[in-house]
Chains A and B, each alone.
Chain A
């Protein structure tokens, strides 16, 4: 349940490229969490993390961005946003995302929001680092990737997110799961997963034979659903089950899941 911003919306500063990054003061209630992707502990350094993610590890959209950063071996700083206090609907956060939703990302003086725009930027800007995250090739291959990126955003996520909300997040906010809603939503999800089953019989991953953003974008919601009774929908389809196993076993994803435990 979102806190509604009282009064009129203040016009946020423009999302200009020369916009200087908003530094959160260290006196913020939570300490800034600095993460490096390196698995071995390194001695403390003055981290000039040019990448900052404003969000929380529990949020599916935040996890989407963190997954991309880990896949790319990029250093970043995760700056928590106090959702319960409605910090995401107020300044200074709404200057980063005027829609008042996490995550937002800063890379130097560039500010971005919308997780799928952020991951695409990360894949493009850091194309030479870490995992590729895009199918190799020219316009036609890129176009196929965009098809499946849109499928996740337009066909899978609207349904799957609602199921996760019903089964998991409602309970956290003291609300009760609506079994009729879950049933209806699962009825829609199975049709999507049947299409995925057919697709994955022809292609190792959704967009091509490499792991790309089109697969990665599914991870946070699938992760949640696999901890519920909805997991049977994935497990009962062999190709989908295999794909879920593969993508959730990736070391970069394990790091994202680890953050939730901290």
Chain B
């Protein structure tokens, strides 16, 4: 019973993306803490699990994976019959899957780089005793506003980003959004009505609350 193990840090956005998926699926797992402050992620034995030295890494029996979005997709497919369905309702429909895939690419390439920088400036820098760079915040918020304008229009047509059900596309956003809601950047979400509603929906899910513990 080797089971599922996540090697990461409970506060890390990428680790939380995987934990969230496991909670949505009601899957048992072990979180093996990786000491980021100590640089454990840049040394063996962790590097054998993630050659790029980043959290999280993942194990399901003898399958070893890294990259949070590869892990969440594996979980969503492998455990399709269990817990919340994180794929499109008709999971075999390739056109529907492609629409969801677009949303996942958008999160990875348009949303996350910006949201992560803002979380770094507003939240994580302070933990490391560094100061927020307001110029960077202003620049990144301008980019985020443009992305959220597109989301606002999208969410006027659909309840969630890939359609009318909650999918991986929405889930991938949750950890970064949770951090940003505790910062001045929150206003970018709350001042857009549909985005605001969507944020409320995805963060009130029981699984979303579990990763904050």
**What residues of chain A have their CB less than 8 Å away from a CB belonging to chain B?**
9, 11-12, 14-17, 98-99, 110, 112-114, 116-118, 120-121, 124-125, 139-140, 142-144, 146-147, 149-151, 153-155, 158, 192, 195, 198-199
Contact = CB atoms under 8 A, between A and B. Distances in A.
Given A147-B70, A154-B67, A195 B51 contact: yes
A12 B99 CA distance: 16
B63 A117 contact: no
Contact of B101 (A121, A143, A155): A121
Q: Which of A9, A12, A150, A151 has the most CB of B within 10 A?
A: A150
Contacts of B98: 110, 112, 117-118, 120-121, 124-125
Nearest to B75: A143
B150 A99 contact: yes
B157 interface: yes
A9 B67 contact: no
B65 interface: yes
Contacts of B99: 15, 17, 112
Interface residues of B, number: 38
Contacts of B157: 14, 16
A14 B160 CA distance: 12
Contacts of A14: 154, 157-158
Interface of B: 51-52, 63, 65-67, 69-71, 73-74, 77-78, 94-99, 101-102, 104-106, 108-110, 113, 146-147, 149-150, 152-154, 156-158
Q: Taking chain B's interface residues, is the majority helix, strand, or loop, or is none over half, making it mixed?
A: helix
A195 B52 contact: yes
B153 A140 contact: no
A139 B153 contact: no
Q: Interface majority SS on A: helix, strand, loop or mixed?
A: helix
A143 B63 contact: yes
Contact of A114 (B78, B95, B109): B109
14 contacts: A12-B150, A12-B153, A15-B154, A16-B157, A17-B96, A110-B98, A117-B101, A121-B97, A142-B74, A143-B71, A143-B78, A146-B73, A154-B67, A199-B51
A150 B69 contact: yes
B109 A142 contact: no
Q: Which 5 residue pairs across A and B have the least CB separation, nearest first?
A: A150-B67, A114-B105, A14-B157, A146-B70, A143-B74
A150 B105 CA distance: 10
A125 B93 CA distance: 9
A1 to B, nearest CB: 15
Contact of A11 (B70, B105, B147, B153): B153
Nearest to B63: A140
B106 A124 contact: no
A9 B73 CA distance: 32
A14 B150 CA distance: 11
A110 B97 CA distance: 12
Contacts of B70: 143, 146-147, 149-150
A212 to B, nearest CB: 13
Contact of A139 (B77, B96, B102): B77
A192 B53 CA distance: 11
A193 to B, nearest CB: 12
Contacts of A153: 105, 108-109
Given A99-B150, A118-B98, A139-B74, 13 more contacts: A9-B153, A11-B156, A14-B157, A113-B102, A121-B101, A125-B98, A142-B74, A143-B73, A143-B74, A146-B67, A147-B65, A147-B66, A154-B69
Nearest to B153: A11
B105 A110 contact: no
Nearest to A149: B70
